[in-house]
Structure 1
Amino acid sequence: MEDFVRKLRERKAIAAGTEKDAAAQHQKGRLTARERIELLFDPDSFNEIDTLVTPRYESYMGGKGSRFGDGVVTGFGLINGRQVFAAAQDASVMGGSLGEMHANKIVKAMRMALSYGCPFVALNDSGGARIQEGVDSLGGYARIFDANCEASGVIPQLSVILGPCAGGAVYSPGLTDFIFMTENSYMFITGPEVVRSVMQEQVSQEELGGGRIHATESGVAHFLSRDDQECLLKVRELLSYLPSNNMSDPPYVPPRDDPERRCPELEELVPVDPQKPYDVREVIASIVDDGRFLEVHELWAQNMVVGFARLDGYVVGLVANQPIHLAGTIDIKASIKATHFIRICDAYNIPIITLQDVPGFLPGTSQEYGGIIRNGARLIYAYSEATVPKLMLILRKSYGGAYCVMSSKGLRGDLLYAWPNAELAVMGAAGAVNILFRNEVKAAEDPKARSRELVSEYQEKFNNPYVAAARGLIDDVIEPRDSRRVLVRALHVTLSKRDRHLPKKHGISPM
């Protein structure tokens, strides 16, 4: 009994962390593992498990083997009133390095989350594999990867990088649905020293794999925050849009915003001139409940906008071309971004609303050599495979193959609408006239005037939504101000699609 009490007291002392360890963390602008847990979960709701676990090879720990928990805090609690499991690596214990028992704790929490149908959040802050444990630590990473794959597409998995995450450790976040990073965190396969010695490249940790690099250049990070506090609040916000598992619906929130509200501002936000840019996020804010939109991958592939919002209280996923970046064309990065997001929505029963204003795929050798055909095909596959409600609204341009790949009728889009000034065609009128009537224009007394005349005729006959509506390729032509109420009504009728709530359809594989 005395020994048990002694162990409990020792555990509590260790759980609090030493003043020195806590001070070191705060100097780096980072919170301790338990401070992060307290901030992430609803007050007084977290229940820790496996608190007495110790490293298997205590003799290699330099006297630190008696520190219970083995460098990671695991357990469950409430986030926004719903059960969530989590694992928070504790950098104050052996640098948060991963050993056999450390990995076992994480895997146990993950499998419990999977068994009970709860989201899982991993708070990463680790020096990597525990060298003292050799291959046992590597085997631990493999078990974590396997658990990630088993849970993929069944329960939401979120990775939060709040410190170092290097080597094999990066692949667990890479297998999860969303990755959050802070500006003072970093991820890379090999560190600057190895890069310097092998590749003769001089690069810092931040330049190689800092949060901003992964949010803007690689696209590895879906969200970037200034510090731990902002990051964890954003995790809570994202979870408010996700269901607990793939057999549940996303959380419904009774709306304050009138579902019949008109949006006259849309007639001013989107210029009639197809050459003039605008910010599609303003269109989204006008249509969705209370203008609230959680953008995913905000800083990467900015010619495509994706994210979550609510429409009459129901969670929806938005996919939209962004005319202020690359004129809203679809390139490799945009294809990857939209594909991953669509598969997330489909796995977790979230209806998809597509806002189209796209002149086509981005041309050029860099795109062709980089595999735009393969990546564009992935986007097609994702839209075709998705069984959730698929609504689409054409705001302005919808040209060529880009029309086909974004939720068209041919890809089993449910209800499709267009604004009166929308242009649906193989290409723009000027390009079409240049190909079809080149000789006629050259032979005219005034080629420029004849070209303008032919462009106007082509525009009137072919480049308008009424031709597509007459052939059933879109369901209706609507006024911009009616966009919200039309989409709300369309959402209500399509929510009853009969091919939803299937057993696990697929995992969210890296794209």
Structure 2
Amino acid sequence: GGGAYGPALTDVIVLGPEGRIFVTGPDVVKSVTGESVDMARLGGPEPHGRRSGVVHVVAETDDQAYESIKTIADLLGAQGSMAAKLPEVNLAGLLPESSKRAYDVHPLIEGILDANSQVQELHPKWAPNIVTTLGRFGGRTIGVVANNPLRLGGCLDSSSAEKAARFVRMCDSFGVPLLVIVDVPGYLPGVGQEWDGVVRRGAKLLHAFSEAVVPRVTLITRKAYGGAYIAMNSRSLGATKVFAWPGAEVAVMGAVAAIRVLHRRILADIPDDQRVAMELELAAEHEKISGGVARAIEIGVVDEILEPTVTRTALAQAILQAPANRGLHGNIPL
């Protein structure tokens, strides 16, 4: 019943294996709609952890639930202070050699955060194309928002934008600095996305970042295209600092997609068996003209190119040099 809104108004919901949350129970559902459903399928860990996004953490046992609560309370309540100099690792080794290969971003997040420290991912199964994690970085609590190319290629969609927006608002309300790891090809296209309110729900992420006053640093690892780049804590949204690794691409769209628009008449006249080769040739020329990350620095959308071997200290210094503010707002359940 209405008591279900109690947990929904809290900052973080941890659901144990026998936990159930629903506004109307199975009997009411059956009498009104004729649907037969049990309590677990209606409001248990699977629907709320994977489908609805109501629950932040699903625990397999009660003891695990208590441990998650302790970790979250410690990360938010005892945030600590950040060291100015951090031990470095070669983070490039955590990405595949080919820039076209998908990969799981979790090892990269673990490599950036302190080794063997407290970490708690929120909403791991809901909208997994973006990862939202609380962890320790240089001894201090930070919030990490990262595109995950392993799921939907890392595209933003309506659910992932809403998930990230809620996380950004929570971190801002608790004074937790943000690290945004960007590898995004754009927004997920499709009729379903438009009907699902990607404009309205995607705007939540832009609003959350633009209003956040905590230090928020962006790292572009491989690519940042189009409107999705803007939404991922870009310079235009007031990012504290935007770093990029060598070879990162910042553009309205990828080179191949761009030349298909710019040179569509030329490509239309090319025989089918030669079109792919011509596209690659035109794309290579386009990449030279667009200028890559050097051009991004020139026009002010990227502040500095970082080598993966010195990234951790540079990120820490950028956070330390920014004012340690805290958002003067509540934590609305977006």
Secondary structure in 2 matching 1:241: helix
- CA shift, 1:181, in A, is 0.4
Sort the Cα spacing of 1:218 and 1:463 in 2 relative to 1 into closer, same or farther, 3 A.
farther
Counterpart position of 1:456? 284
1:388 is aligned to 2:246: no
- CA shift, 1:291, in A, is 5.2
1:241 is aligned to 2:69: no
Counterpart position of 2:174? 348
| Alignment equivalent of 2:19, drawn from 185, 198, 203 | 185
Counterpart position of 1:145? none
Question: In structure 1, what residue type is equivalent to 2:333?
Answer: P
Sort the Cα spacing of 1:320 and 1:463 in 2 relative to 1 into closer, same or farther, 3 A.
farther
| Aligned residue runs from structure 1 range 307-322, under 5 A | 307-322=133-148
In structure 2, stretches of 5+ residues that fail to align are: none
Question: Structure 2 CA distance, aligned partners of 1:271 and 1:460?
Answer: 23
1:508 is aligned to 2:334: no
Give the conservation status (yes or no) of the 8 Å contact 1:217–1:300: yes
Give the conservation status (yes or no) of the 8 Å contact 1:267–1:480: yes
Secondary structure in 1 matching 2:115: helix
Counterpart position of 1:252? 80
| Alignment equivalent of 1:469, drawn from 291, 297, 312 | 297
Question: Structure 2 CA distance, aligned partners of 1:377 and 1:421?
Answer: 29
Secondary structure in 2 matching 1:295: strand
Per-residue deviation, residues 68-89 of structure 1 (Å, max 9, x unmatched): xxxxxxxxxxxxxxxxxxxxxx
Give the structure-2-normalised TM-score.
0.94
Question: In structure 1, what residue type is equivalent to 2:205?
Answer: L
Moved over 4 A (4+): 443-446
Give the conservation status (yes or no) of the 8 Å contact 1:424–1:463: no
Give the conservation status (yes or no) of the 8 Å contact 1:305–1:320: yes
In structure 1, stretches of 5+ residues that fail to align are: 1-166, 244-249
Question: In structure 1, what residue type is equivalent to 2:108?
Answer: V
| Alignment equivalent of 2:102, drawn from 261, 277, 289 | 277
Question: Structure 1 CA distance, aligned partners of 2:171 and 2:193?
Answer: 27
Sort the Cα spacing of 1:335 and 1:254 in 2 relative to 1 into closer, same or farther, 3 A.
closer
Question: Structure 1 CA distance, aligned partners of 2:257 and 2:87?
Answer: 39
Give the structure-1-normalised TM-score.
0.62
Q: Indicate the structure whose relative CO is greater, using CA pairs within 8 Å and at least 6 residues apart.
A: 2
Question: Structure 1 CA distance, aligned partners of 2:270 and 2:61?
Answer: 65
Counterpart position of 1:207? 41
Question: Structure 2 CA distance, aligned partners of 1:254 and 1:287?
Answer: 14
- CA shift, 1:259, in A, is 3.5
| Aligned residue runs from structure 1 range 224-239, under 5 A | 224-239=58-73
1:485 is aligned to 2:313: yes
Question: Structure 2 CA distance, aligned partners of 1:448 and 1:299?
Answer: 37
- CA shift, 1:251, in A, is 2.5
- CA shift, 1:440, in A, is 2.4
Give the conservation status (yes or no) of the 8 Å contact 2:86–2:138: no
How many residue pairs were aligned? 331
Give the conservation status (yes or no) of the 8 Å contact 2:173–2:326: no
Per-residue deviation, residues 173-220 of structure 1 (Å, max 9, x unmatched): 111111110121111111111111111101111011012221111110
Per-residue deviation, residues 255-274 of structure 1 (Å, max 9, x unmatched): 7xx9432221x222212433
Counterpart position of 1:327? 153
Give the conservation status (yes or no) of the 8 Å contact 1:393–1:416: yes
1:196 is aligned to 2:22: no
Counterpart position of 1:216? 50
Question: Structure 2 CA distance, aligned partners of 1:196 and 1:444?
Answer: 60
Secondary structure in 1 matching 2:331: coil
Give the conservation status (yes or no) of the 8 Å contact 2:7–2:13: yes
